[in-house]
Amino acid sequence: MILCMATLLSCVQRTEDRLFEQKVTTALKQQVERYPQSTIRDIYKNFFQDKFGPGHLLSDTAAAGRYLRREMNSYSPDTLAFLSPYVDSVGWEHRFVRVDLRVIKEGKVSYRDFFEAFVRSAQSAPAVSVKDWTEEWNRIVEILEKMQCAVTHHPQYTADKDSITFLLKRGEFVGHHSRTYVASYAPHYRLIAAEELQSLGF
């Protein structure tokens, strides 16, 4: 009986590992195809955003609102060579999505509805330990390096990978887009819980 249980658990674990690798691989391929200038910093941000959501951005609701309005005032999509999708998935679990601020600029979603959905998304963000996230991130890196895509050949790859490792060892998890990514894609978005998309009309 014990041997049967052990065999069953082993099979379940192998299945879970295989599904994880498949989903992560799909997410990685989407990132590098849609944003070919991505570095490992941008890969990291993609996955940590789906894991933690926007909770770390909302310690002060009023300040978050002011910052959003300032960002909108400085955002002119007509001047951008690259326009991201209105809604862009992140990570492999797809718990959160990036919603481009163009949806407000173009009148597709009101500022009030957008900000309220953002606040609800931040408040419902899951609690994740940095330890668990570090273990998951290391598995993601293994899959990334197995793919041998352009990201792993970037001149800054090793240095950026090490800086992320040091970040996590300090018990921190918030990463930022690379300068190359910002210059190439001028990202202007907020993370919204996938379950909130219907409230925004998507």
Domain-located, residue 13:
no
Q: Is residue 114 part of a domain?
A: yes
Is the residue at 50 inside a domain?
yes
* pTM, full prediction: 0.87
pLDDT tens series, the chain, 202 aa:
665 555 555 555 678 889 999 999 999 999 999 999 999 999 999 999 999 998 765 666 777 788 788 888 877 766 665 678 899 999 999 999 999 999 998 899 999 999 999 999 988 888 889 999 999 999 999 999 999 899 999 999 999 999 999 999 999 999 999 999 999 998 999 999 999 999 998 8
In SS3 terms, 92-161 reads as CCCCEEEEECHHHHCCCCCHHHHHHHHHHHHHCCCCCCHHHHHHHHHHHHHHHHHHCCHHHHCCCHHHHH
Let me know if residue 8 belongs to a domain: no
- How many domains is the chain built from? 1
94 lies in some domain: yes
Domain that holds residue 48: 22-200
